[in-house]
Amino acid sequence: MPHATPSGSGLPGRDTSVIRRARIAVATVFTIHGCVSGTFATRIPWLRDHLDLSAGQLGLALSFPAIGASVAMPLAGWMVHRFGGRAAVRWLIVVYCAALALPVQTPALPWLCAALFLYGATAGMADVAMNGQGVEVERKYGRSIMSGLHGMWSAGALIGSAVAVAATHAGVGADLHLPVVGGVLVATGLWVCRNLLDVRSEPDQEAPPRFALPPRSALAIGAVGMCAVFAEGASMDWSGVYLKDVTGTSSSVAAASFTAFACTMAAARLAGDALVRRFGPARTVRFSGVLASLGGLLVVTAASPGQAIAGFALLGVGIAVVVPLAFAAAGQTDGAPSQAIAGVATITYATSLVAPAAFGAIADATTLRLSFGLVTVGTSLLIVFAGVLGRRGAGQRPTTTDGPATEPGAARPGAAPPDPTARGRGQTG
């Protein structure tokens, strides 16, 4: 497992102020990453109009970010091993922010596809590196923080989209708006990354290959994440269509289904760490699977728009913490954690690429109700296979009530001696 090397006045693992600053820094990095994504997504209509793209051409172009991410993600584990976690996160988040300016400078579709490939590749590698940093900070901090970090990503996406809406309303073109936002986020990223942990591999640890298939340890974890990502993609892209076609509501009411889903998912992620600390990752995901499945049943049986919106809101709550906990579980596997994180990220990104199209194909062959019935079956699998997210590696630090543990292996006053057979934070899955 990577360890933190000396930084500043002491070892980050033994200096609670350093760990707290690292937590704030990595949360800010997640917010920056989400802000870039939200900014770009909101200006897609400008891109379409600027290049006069048809729906098919735009759909083709928008497939390239996910392709770039899936291709480049395996490289991130090697970069973390080679340059260290702090440097890898710093430069990958900087390059990702700078890449925000590329798509709006392209003169034609082929150049747009190339720019979006690079944009997606940098997004994916930064995603892996920052999740690896988050896992290490969580391990040092001694408390679950991954769900909150992903909640900060969602908050960043909302901030980015809100600023983009304001810029659009003010008549600012995306060719000016995106470079300015990218420059501000580059400066912010350079500043906050100073406080990240300098995670480096053991001197005798073999470097992971630059490109490799996901390791076996990541496959089961990635499969659980895949169930959540499929439900997320189907809900985000098809909830409005479902309300219009199945319940016969208006476009404005149909749009509320996405808002309900996105807001409840962000809120659940921000609050999810408290549940993980209380119940452990496996039981939290089992309960999440129950909520998501109930939401899916409400959607499938919806006879009114209100019932369907409530169902999508429950789906958002139910799947919110699954992907963050999948990354956390990957970071605690034996062997090369950075490679396992890259593997889980590759699986989930690939799922996000194919989920909307696969859902549409199923809906064309059957019905929208039956398609969301299959989504509900997928969320019910979270109840069955949640245990794979509870198999944390040894070396976790004990949970404290008001901050990180001050020494590895230190127990709370009055606590019973640790059970050497227990794994993770007392969670056996």
Rounded Cα distance, 120 and 72, in Å:
9
pLDDT given for residue 243 in this prediction: 87
> What domain range includes position 124?
17-199
* Predicted confidence (pLDDT) at residue 422 exceeds the cutoff of 50: no
Res 213: pLDDT: 58
Query: Residue 178 pLDDT > 80, yes or no?
Result: yes
Structure tokens at 290: 């129950």
**pLDDT tens digits for range 67-103:** 898 888 878 878 887 888 899 999 999 999 999 999 9
Does one domain contain both 167 and 229?
no
Residue-wise pLDDT for 27-62, tens only, equals: 999 999 999 988 988 888 888 889 998 877 887 888
CATH number at residue 105: 1.20.1250.20
Supply the mean pLDDT for the chain.
81
- Distance of alpha carbon 82 from alpha carbon 372, whole angstroms: 44
Phi, psi of 410 (to 5 degrees): -70, 140
**Quick check: 385 pLDDT over 60?**
yes
Minimum mean pLDDT range among 73-82, 102-111, 375-384: 73-82
Q: Which two tokens stand for residue 259?
A: 């808002």
* 191 and 224 share one domain: no
Going by pLDDT thresholds of 50, 70 and 90, the confidence category of residue 148 is very high
Residues 308 and 266 in one domain: yes
The pLDDT value recorded for residue 298 is 96
pLDDT surpassing 90 at residue 179: yes
List beta partners, residue 10: 7
| pLDDT given at position 60 | 83
pLDDT at 4 over 60: no
Domain boundary among 178, 199, 220: 199
Residue 423, token pair as written in the block: 């794994």
**Domain-ending residue, one of 199, 230, 250:** 199
Provide the number of structural domains found in the chain: 2
Residues 325 and 375 in one domain: yes
In-domain check, residue 261: yes
If asked whether residues 151 and 288 sit together in one domain, one would say no
Decide if 417 is inside a domain.
Answer: no
Residue 5: exposure state from Cβ atoms within 10 A (0-12, 13-18, ≥19): middle
Q: Is residue 372 part of a domain?
A: yes
| Tokens coding 75 | 């490289």
Higher-scoring residue by pLDDT: 427, 171: 171
Residue 37 lies in a domain: yes
* CB neighbourhood size of 116 (10 A): 26
- Report pLDDT for 217: 67
Q: Which pLDDT belongs to residue 112?
A: 94
20: buried, middle or exposed (CB in 10 Å: 19+, 13-18, 0-12)?
middle
Per-residue b or e along 93-107, where b marks 16 or more CB atoms closer than 10 Å to that residue's CB: bbbbbbbbbbbbebe
Half-sphere exposure of 261 (CA within 13 A, CB side): 25
Does 189 share its domain with 216? Answer: no
Banded model confidence at residue 1, pLDDT cuts 50, 70, 90: very low
Q: What is the pLDDT of residue 202?
A: 53
At 227, phi and psi to the nearest 5? -60, -40
In a domain, 421, yes or no: no
pLDDT at 310 over 70: yes
The answer on 83 and 121 residing in a single domain is: yes
Q: What is the rounded average pLDDT of the residues 107-123? A: 94
CB distance 349 to 341 below 8 Å: no
| % residues pLDDT > 90 (the chain) | 38
Same domain? 56 vs 158: yes
Supply the pLDDT for residue 104: 92
**Whether 193 and 217 share a structural domain:** no
Q: Is 279 domain-assigned? A: yes
Return the top range by mean pLDDT from 206-210, 228-232, 258-262, 331-335: 228-232
Looking at residues 229-239, what average pLDDT do you find?
Answer: 84
Task: Give a yes or no: residue 424 inside a domain.
Answer: no
Residues 346, 369 within the same domain: yes
Q: Cα–Cα distance between 126 and 108 in angstroms, integer?
A: 27
Residues 285 and 352 in one domain: yes
Average pLDDT over residues 128-142: 89
Same domain for 46 and 180, yes or no, is: yes
Q: Is residue 12 part of a domain?
A: no
61-65, 193-197, 399-403: which has the minimum mean pLDDT?
399-403
Which among 199, 231, 260 is the end of a domain? 199
pLDDT at 429 over 50: no
